[in-house]
Amino acid sequence: MSDPTPAIADDAAPSGASRGTSRGTSRNPFLTRFAGSAAALILRLIGITLRVTVSIEEGGPPSFYVPAAVYSFWHRCILPATWQYRGRDIGVMTSQSEDGEYIARTIDKFGFLPVRGSSSRGGARALLEMRQLVEAGHTVAFTIDGPRGPKYLAKPGPVLLAKSTQKPMLAFHFAVDRAWVLNTWDEFIIPKPFARVLLRVSRYMWVPAGADDATMQRHHQDLQESLDRVRVFAEENLRTLTRP
């Protein structure tokens, strides 16, 4: 795996994980708080109108959410994921950039635990905090092609975390029949009111505790293939599996 995300070392673990302990910085804190509150309000107004159908692969969990798991999804799906998985104290890695601060402020209002860091900045400490959350029984999630892409290319952080915690990996994707699509690297989606949404969740993926580099490479590829598979399924079956 060529991504610069470092391995997780026991001796650098943070002393505690709690809401808001992994904040980034903002050049204009007032504007950031206002933008986060406004985004949360808009998402609540849209979210209550969404018609979500859940589909799970054979060999997957009994529900779209399970505790103490390591989830991965594409950056463009942040808003529908925030709505669907709200209120569960899920740890989510967000970058230390200004955009990451907006996202952290928004998801915090939906009961998530923002963990600040990315493969390019603060990744080691963020992975340590994510591990601590998993070991405390929390589920965690990675926007796996963020914060800057390339689009639909998975980074290895979840594989490292699944190995160190011996908890399962899962991938999911949201397909939306009507959405505003932003002109950004990830084609970020904002679902329109009353949109039909299909959430597809993968089978479980486990990484052995003694996995060597070659085995880690295979599990990284398995994660990539699972993310691709659930995305294609959701987008191809959106209209046939969602209720009118």
Short-list 14, 230, 25, 203, CA closest to 121 = 25
pLDDT band at 116 (very low <50, low <70, confident <90, very high): confident
Please give the C-alpha separations between residue 209 and each of 7, 55, 128, 178, 206, in angstroms, as whole numbers. 13, 30, 17, 42, 9
Q: Write down the mean pLDDT value for the chain.
A: 88
Adjacent-strand bridge partners of 190: 180
Q: What is the pLDDT of residues 63-102, one digit of tens each?
A: 999 999 999 999 999 999 999 999 999 999 988 777 778 8
Q: What is the pLDDT of residues 11-70, one digit of tens each?
A: 444 434 444 444 454 556 666 667 778 889 999 999 999 999 999 999 999 999 999 999
Instruction: Decide which of 123 and 147 is more confident.
Output: 147
Residue 126 has pLDDT above 80, yes or no: yes
- In this prediction, residue 101 carries a pLDDT of 84
Query: Which strand (E) or helix (H) includes residue 56?
Result: strand 51-56
Q: What is the pLDDT of residues 164-202, one digit of tens each?
A: 999 999 999 999 999 999 999 999 999 999 999 999 999
